[in-house]
Structure 1
Amino acid sequence: MFGPSGVFDPATYEPRSGKTFWMAATDVSSLVGQGGSSRHAHRQLHDRTTSLPFKFELELISSLSGGTVKEGSPMTVESRIFSVAEYVQPSEGEPIRSVVLETRDSIIVVWHVHPGQEIAAHIHPHGQDTWTVLSGMADYFQGNGIVRALREGEIAVARPGQVHGARNTGTEPFVFVSVVASANAGFVLAER
């Protein structure tokens, strides 16, 4: 539908497939070979076109993954959007680590920390932990006795080996999403 220039060209449009001449002539498997991964091939395709028709996107996903993806099938493409509310698990004991998604690339977790509760100071020796605060506030432990207030709307990044943890010092729940990358980052308790 849209070629490399991003302009619709009816002369090269294939009505039955929804592809432009360029898309129909592109051998997706050759793109995978150039970059070594389907993600790279998809990026190359994206860079070459401004917009790909949905049907072509499904065909691309199918050919790169070796599976079958049918247009209109509700569960053919893995879900990529998650509701934080579905993962918030308040607990009167220890805060609960509610896993949203775990892959070899990362672990995504939602935390709900009541006032007075604490996530122990720790490190991930082989990965980064990024916290995006959705509500509340807490004292954020950074190691060597360094503590900083962390509030709603802020993002805290702990690189591999950097101490992090938190204690809810506010009056409302401290809720945040943690993304640890990679999934084999490890976990070791540490001093605040």
Structure 2
Amino acid sequence: MTLKQLAREDLKNRIFHWPDIQQFREDKATKHIFYETPNTVGAIWCMHPGQTLPLHSHEKADDIWVVVEGTADYYPECGEMVQIKAGDVVVSRAGEKHGMTNNSSRDFVMLGIAGPTPIGFIAHKHH
């Protein structure tokens, strides 16, 4: 069988290179949505030291995070914390709380895939 060779550019809506789509802001954690379908949404989160993704949940959506760079304090529940690091895959099922703060001295980057859409956002406070 002969395969047709494609250029990566021909699949720019299907192949994403995370270093090319990351975006940092000085004032707050940055979420950049790089794709969205009726089923799932993909985002890259970029956080400088001290920046936070607030504790939240999604009523009907799962949220899967793949940490690609750095470490952060992950909040799996109000008042709880565990460190996550590059190479970790973090799964938050519908209704499960999740959030994080980059308390390290280096930048933090993770990919998030969530669905079904719309994912919604329910804010929670640490008690």
Same fold (TM over 0.5): yes
Structure 2: distance between partners of 1:182 and 1:146? 26
Structure with greater helix percent: 1
Q: Deviations over 1:57-103 (max 9, x none)?
A: xxxxxxxxxxxxxx97974x673210111221111111111011011
Q: Which runs of 5+ in 2 are unaligned?
A: none
Structure 2: distance between partners of 1:96 and 1:144? 23
Q: Which amino acid in structure 1 is aligned with residue 95 of structure 2?
A: G
1:108 aligned partner: 42
Contact 2:13 2:35 in 1 (8 A): no
Identify which of structures 1 and 2 has the higher relative contact order when contacts are C-alpha pairs closer than 8 Å and 6+ apart: 2
Normalising to structure 1: TM-score of the pair?
0.60
Structure 1: distance between partners of 2:28 and 2:6? 43
Structure 1: distance between partners of 2:56 and 2:78? 12
Name the CA shift for 1:161/1:81 in 2 (closer, same or farther; >3 Å): same
Structure with greater strand percent: 2
- Please provide the CA RMSD for this pair: 2.0
Question: Could you tell me the percent identity over the aligned residues?
Answer: 28
Task: Tell me which structure has the larger Cα radius of gyration.
Answer: 1
2:112 aligned partner: 178
Contact 1:137 1:151 in 2 (8 A): yes
Normalising to structure 2: TM-score of the pair?
0.88
Aligned counterpart for 1:87 among listed residues 13, 21, 25:
21
Confirm or deny that 1:125 pairs with 2:53.
Answer: no
SS of aligned partner of 1:125 = coil
Aligned counterpart for 2:86 among listed residues 140, 148, 152:
152
Work out the number of aligned pairs and report it: 125
Contact 1:87 1:99 in 2 (8 A): no
Structure 2: distance between partners of 1:85 and 1:72? 21
4+ runs deviating over 6 angstroms: 71-74
Q: Which runs of 5+ in 1 are unaligned?
A: 2-52, 56-70
Q: Deviations over 1:90-131 (max 9, x none)?
A: 111111110110111111000110111100110011100011
SS of aligned partner of 2:32 = strand
